Every structure is written in structure tokens, then in C-alpha cells.
Amino acid sequence: MPRSNVFRAQAFRLALTFSLAISVATISAFAFVYLQVSHVDVQRVGTILVDEAAKSERDSDDQLRRALELRLTRDIRRLDYVALFDASGGKVFGDVAALPPVPVDGAAHVVQQQLLPDSNGYEPALFVARRRPDGGIVLFGRSLREVYDLQGSVLRALATALLPTVLVILAIGAVFARRASMRFERIHDAIMRIMDGDLGSRLPAEGGGDDLAKVTKAVNLMLDEIERLLDQLKSIGDNIAHDLRTPLMVARTRIVRALDEDADTASLRSAMNVALAQIDRASVTISAILRVSAVENSARRNRFREFDLGAVCLEVAEFYEPWAEAKRIELTVQAPAPALMLGDEDLVREAVSNLVDNAIKFTPDGGTVRVEVAMAGGVPRLSVSDTGPGVPAQDRTRIFRRFIRGVGADAAPGHGLGLDIARTIAELHGFQLTVEDNRPGARFIMQATSKAAAGFARAA
């Protein structure tokens, strides 16, 4: 990625903003320390000087002079100022040549330019002047040289540390900006490949568990589903074309043949009847396909109500009883207790009907079809078993796809959509539809893996 783009990247701008914020915070912290150092230290010194001046008011001249001499003797660093002036302002004792320009009020005052005792320069100092009972003035002071030196050290530290801090933050921001920009560039390239028709491409999964990685993972899952749906759509299109071509070709052939042979009315009527039957067959196929799509795209969860799955199975069995009797098939329903669930009763009835219809269709005369409903693990469980040819292990997944029919199903009527409709309805309700060996025959089971997975099933 060009370096110029790095500096225009949002990550770099965020890093720059962050560095400015850090700089302002650093300056504020140093300024606070600077002010605290100067203010607190000056205030502390001033308090001490005020207290000493107040105590000296009660001392005699001799006591005060000895105290001032002792103070100067102990002042190794030459920071203290002491002096005693008479009522006319003349100096009596001390290391201050003249009274500084401060009011004689017993309070602390700062003098920015105070002549040093050795008369070789000036320095800032803090003074307290207090008038004694005899009219004289006692002066206590202390140099602020160390305080100001500390302030200068703080300022130099600020100037020294601030620039490297900003540069380091900007460098870190540039590195992360480059990494983020390259990552977005790779994602953009992958998106462009997908838009150009490479549906097998996926967004690069990087960054561990950050927010962008989560979005990338979700988009890849969406692309997987889109690719699956497109493959399924292509397969459906091929199957629809195959299933519709045969009846339409038969109808057309019969009509053309009847017209070419100059057939009589009876022959034409026969040809029309055959053509009409083939057209009806194609219409049934189209209706079944539309029904599957309607179920898949249904937003009917707001219509979910509580109902008894066992009662629905009894209704379905009663409807199919005449067909079962015609084939001498024993159709039984076992629902010893209510199996309450939340769902669309009409859709669930259709799913059960497709399973029972499928079982009777593939069960030979004299066989058995058993429907069982019970609660298992707190959720309803439906089982439809038959004594037909069964479903080979390799077909137990593919038979739930559209237009896929099991081995030996070619002779039976149908379009390979009944199990797909039942599976779609089951998934809409949070259930899973599977098939297993019944020895002999097949057993179709519709059951939620758990209450949490089902979401809509609940115990009675």
C-alpha cells in the first residue's frame, strides 16, 4: 500500500488525534505539577515565616538579635534573609541592606528581584515584615531560588518528554494504520473477486477475535449460504426443466400426431385427454415447487399457537385410513399423552401428512405404518415408521433434497418434494427431520435436539 495512503487512512488520523489528546493530557499534568510545586512550596515557606515573625514580637531586642544570629549561622545554603530595623527604618542587624518594597503587615509577599547579601546579583525571595511594640521592624525572608529551579526542571522535563512521546505515538499509529489499511485492501480485493463471479472466494479471516474478524466471519458464512442457495437454485432449475419437459413433450407429440393423421373426433378427444393429463402433471409439479418456496419464505412465526401434536397425528391418520385399508396396511397411532408444542398447526399437519403419505406409498400391501408421538427430554418427538423397502444409508441425507427420490421410487407417483416440504416445516419450528433403519422399512423422526435449540417446543 502506498505510504501516502497510510497517512490518509482513518487509523492514522485516529492515532494522530490520540497523540494530540495524550500531548494535551501530558501538558496538563505537567502544568498541574508545576503550579503545585510553585504554589505549595511558596505557601509552606510563607506560613513558616509568618509564624516566626509573630513569635519574635514578644522577644526582647537582645533575645531577637541572638535568634537572628543563630538563624544566619545555621543557614549553610545561604537561603535565609533576616534583619532588624529601628523605628526610622535604619538597619540595626541582618544580611539585608535595606527594607524590601513589601508592606509591614505580618503577611508573606514575593519580591522578584532581591539583592543578594554579597551584592553580586539578584534572586526571587519571600519576605514577611512585622512591626514590633517599640516601633522597630523585624524582617524574615527566604530565597525562592530552589523553588524556581525546580519549576525550571519541570519545564525542561516537559519539553524533553513531550516531543518523543508524540513521535512514538505517531509512529505506532502509522504502523497500525498500515496494517489496518492492508487488511482492508485484502478484504476489498476479495469482494471485487466475488463481484467478478468468483463465488468460491472468501474474505480473509485475520485479526483473531476483533470486531472486524467477527464481521468477516459472518460475511463468509453468508457467502457460504449464498453459494449453497445458488447451487441449489441451479439444481432446481435443471430438475424443473427435466420434470416439465417430459409431460410437455408427450402432450405436444400426441397433439401433433393427432393433427398429422387427420384423426376423427374420438382420436382427437383421446389425444386432448392425454395432453391435458400431462399438463396437469406439470401443473402439479409447479404447485409443489411454489409450496416449498412459500414455506421456506414464510414469516408465520407470529401465528404460532399451542396445540397437541398427538391430536394432529390422529387427524392425519383418520384422513389416510381409507387409502391404508385399500392396500390392506395396518395404520396405527400411538399418542398416550398430550404432546403440546408451539407452532403453526396447519404447517405441522402438512408435514405429518407428507410423512404418512410417503410411508403408505412405499409400504407394500399387507404392511404396517406406525405413527408415534411422545415427549422426550421435554420436547415432542414424532416417529413415522413403515415396513417398506427402507432407505439405504448413502441416501439418508440426499432424499430430503428437492426432486431426489430414493431407490425403487421411480414406479411410485410423486415429484420428490414431499420430504423436502416436511424438512422445511420441521426446521421452521426448530426441529430436525432424520431417517433411520426400521428393520424392515424406514423410520422418520422429527425431534428438537433440545429446548434451547427448538425455541418453540415445550413440555406439557
pLDDT for res 456:
44
pTM over 0.85: no
Cβ–Cβ < 8 Å for 435, 442: yes
Closest CA to 389 of 416, 414, 351, 358: 358
| Fold of the domain built from segment(s) 1-199 | Beta-Lactamase (3.30.450)
pLDDT top residue among 124 and 151? 124
Q: Count how many Cα atoms sit within 13 Å of the Cα of residue 9 in the half-sphere of its side chain.
A: 24
For the residues 309-326, what does the mean pLDDT come to?
A: 89
Q: Which of 14-23, 24-33, 242-251, 292-301 is predicted with the least confidence, judged by mean pLDDT?
A: 292-301
pLDDT for res 371:
92
Whether residue 267 is predicted with pLDDT greater than 60 in this model: the reply is: yes
For the residues 56-70, what does the mean pLDDT come to?
A: 79
Supply 124's cell numbers: 526571587
Whether residue 326 is predicted with pLDDT greater than 80 in this model: the reply is: yes
Whether residue 158 is predicted with pLDDT greater than 80 in this model: the reply is: no
- Residue 329 phi/psi, 5° resolution? -100, 135
pLDDT top residue among 183 and 19? 183
Q: Give dist(CA 294, CA 10) in Å, integer.
A: 45
Q: Which of 259-263, 286-290, 430-434 is predicted with the least confidence, judged by mean pLDDT?
A: 286-290
Whether residue 459 is predicted with pLDDT greater than 50 in this model: the reply is: no
pLDDT top residue among 361 and 162? 361
pLDDT for res 458:
46
Strands 368-376 and 330-334: parallel
The identity of residue 71, as a single letter, is R
Q: Which segments within 132-282 are labelled E, that is strand?
A: 137-143
pLDDT for res 370:
92
For the chain, the domains span 1-199, 211-296, 301-454
pLDDT for res 457:
44
Q: What is the pLDDT of residues 347-360, one digit of tens each?
A: 888 889 888 988 89
Domain 301-454 CATH superfamily: Histidine kinase-like ATPase, C-terminal domain (3.30.565.10)
CA 127 to chain centre: 65
Q: Count how many Cα atoms sit within 13 Å of the Cα of residue 33 in the half-sphere of its side chain.
A: 15
CATH class of 211-296: mainly alpha
CA 415 to chain centre: 43
DSSP 150: H
Q: Give the angle subtended at the CA of 418 by the CAs of 415 and 424, to the nearest 5°.
A: 130
pLDDT top residue among 112 and 412? 112
pLDDT for res 249:
73
Length of the chain measured in residues = 460
Whether residue 100 is predicted with pLDDT greater than 80 in this model: the reply is: yes
Whether residue 294 is predicted with pLDDT greater than 80 in this model: the reply is: no
Edge-to-edge strand list for the sheet holding 379-386: 330-334, 368-376, 379-386, 442-447, 432-437
Supply 277's cell numbers: 393429463
Q: What is the pLDDT of residues 205-218, one digit of tens each?
A: 776 667 778 888 88
Would you place residue 238 in the very low, low, confident or very high pLDDT band (cuts 50, 70, 90)?
low
pLDDT for res 38:
65
pLDDT for res 411:
46
Which residues are CB-neighbours of 171 under 8 A, at least 6 positions away?
none
Q: Which segments within 201-353 are labelled E, that is strand?
A: 305-308, 330-334, 340-343
